[in-house]
Each structure stands twice: as structure tokens, then as C-alpha cells.
Amino acid sequence: MQSQISSQNLHQTLIIEEFEPDVFRQLIEYIHTGCVTLQPRTLLGLMNAADYYGLEELKRACSGFIQCCVNVDTVCALLATAERYIQYKCTKCLVQKVLEFVDENGNEVLNLGSFALLPQHVVRLIMAREELKADEFSKFQAVLMWSKKYCDSANSKLSEVLGTFLEYINFHMIPANVLMKEIHPLGIIPYHIIMNALAYQVQVYVISLFCNTIFVQCEIFVVQITVFLFKIYKPSSKRLKFNTQLFFNTKMK
């Protein structure tokens, strides 16, 4: 009886709240065997666990694996797990690398179905980045897809959820035909935003047309002056020709 009590006292249940079960399972596997299969889904948690428990070799292996595992197929999974381990210092380093990848592959990442599964603050973080190389319509489609997914699981209006992202979309950079055929019919974008975007494009077009007209008029004027001076100063015609060419080159630049 005494031996049974002693045996029971030796077994205690420890609750590890810091890391997910799959992460801790891989950590134990590494401790027992000295090797483990690294996976993008658990990479961030395992790297932070290795740092937390002082397993430097495992930490270095995870850090090196980051360089080759960040791609279009894994980028959203890595960003999604970052929220779980945001308090650990290793997370910041990995998130920065992932965000740099997102910047360079903006359109492709924004079109991923898994983008709709990212936490809201991560979506905001991506959309607010000036380095993000993505066209404005792709950005709009991405936040629309995310908002629809969010509304499926929450009692919220689509226009209200989507409205929190509109500040990150430069609607005036979306072609007018796309604004009128793809976005306006949805009925979820405030009318004044559409009108302001269209007005901006009209203004830019008018200014461009005006500048081109002025430039053509200047060209005609210079030609007329050149012809007039050529008639008066025939010996210096070569110099006049050179100066005219110089003028046009300057205008073109």
C-alpha cells in the first residue's frame, strides 16, 4: 500500500499553457531523439519554445528553416500563428521576414483564400504597409473577402466591417470602369468615396490634356520663331537649329 501511494505521488500533471500541444509534442520529440521534422504550421511555436527552454541548436535550426519555408503556400499560416506567440522575442524577427515577403508578392498573397483566415489586426498591418506591392483593386478584393468571412461567423453588417479597411484603399487609383462596373454595384461603398475617386481621375485627365495642348502650342510657336529668325539671320542657321533641338530635348525631359 505504501509503495502504491509513493508511486502515485511521483506522478504529477503539469499544464503547459505557453505552447500549443503539437508544438510541445515536437519539443519533447527533439529532447528524446535529438531530431524533429520542422513544419511551417508549428515553426514559430517551436522556435520560441526552443528559446524559452534554452535549446540553442533547435532554435538555430528553426531560424535557418525560416529562410526556405516562407512562400505563398505558408505565408498566411505563419502570420496566423504569430498572434499566439506575439509576446516572445523570436516572433518579431520571423514576422518581419514574412511581412517583407508579403510586400514583394502582394497581389499573389492577397488573392489567397487563406488570407481571409488571418486575424483582423494582421490584415490591418498588411494593408497599412507602404511597401506593399499590390494594386488597389486587389487590396479591395482582399478586404472584401476577409469581411465576408468575418460576417459569416459574427453578427455584423458587411458594410460596417468593410468600412474599417477603406482608409487603406486608394480608390482614385482604381480605373473608372472598374469602379463603376465592379465596386459601385455592390452597394457597400459610400457614394461619396466613389464620386471623389472619379472626380480625381477627371481632374488628372483634364490637367494632362491641358498640359499636352500647351506643349504642342509651344512647339508651334518655337518653330514659327525659328523660321522667322532663319529668314533674318541666314549665316547663323546652324546655331538656331541646334538651339531649337536643345529646347525640344529640354521639354521632353
Domain map of the chain by residue range? 1-104, 105-169, 184-253
pLDDT of residue 234: 54
Per the model's pLDDT, the better-predicted residue between 243 and 78 turns out to be 78
Q: How confident is the model at residue 216 (pLDDT cuts 50, 70, 90)?
A: low
Q: Are 42 and 79 in contact (CB under 8 A)?
A: no
Model confidence, pTM: 0.71
From the CA atom positions of the chain, what is the Rg in Å? Answer: 31
CATH number belonging to domain 1-104: 3.30.710
Query: What is the rounded CA–CA span in Å between residue 182 and residue 137?
Result: 10
Give me the helices (H) in 34-157, please. 40-52, 56-69, 75-82, 89-104, 106-110, 120-127, 136-153
* Average pLDDT value for residue range 26-38: 91
* Average pLDDT value for residue range 5-20: 68
Query: What is the rounded CA–CA span in Å between residue 184 and residue 194?
Result: 7
Whether the predicted pLDDT of 235 surpasses 70 = no
* Average pLDDT value for residue range 205-211: 65
Q: Which of 26-35, 78-87, 104-113, 154-163 has the lowest mean pLDDT?
A: 78-87
Q: Cα 186 vs. chain centroid, distance in angstroms?
A: 24
Cell representation of residue 34: 535529438
With CA atoms as reference, report the closest residue to 117 among 77, 72, 167, 157. 77
Q: How confident is the model at residue 237 (pLDDT cuts 50, 70, 90)?
A: very low
pLDDT in tens, 37-76: 998 888 889 999 999 899 999 999 988 888 788 899 899 9
Q: Are 81 and 110 in contact (CB under 8 A)?
A: no
* Average pLDDT value for residue range 225-250: 48
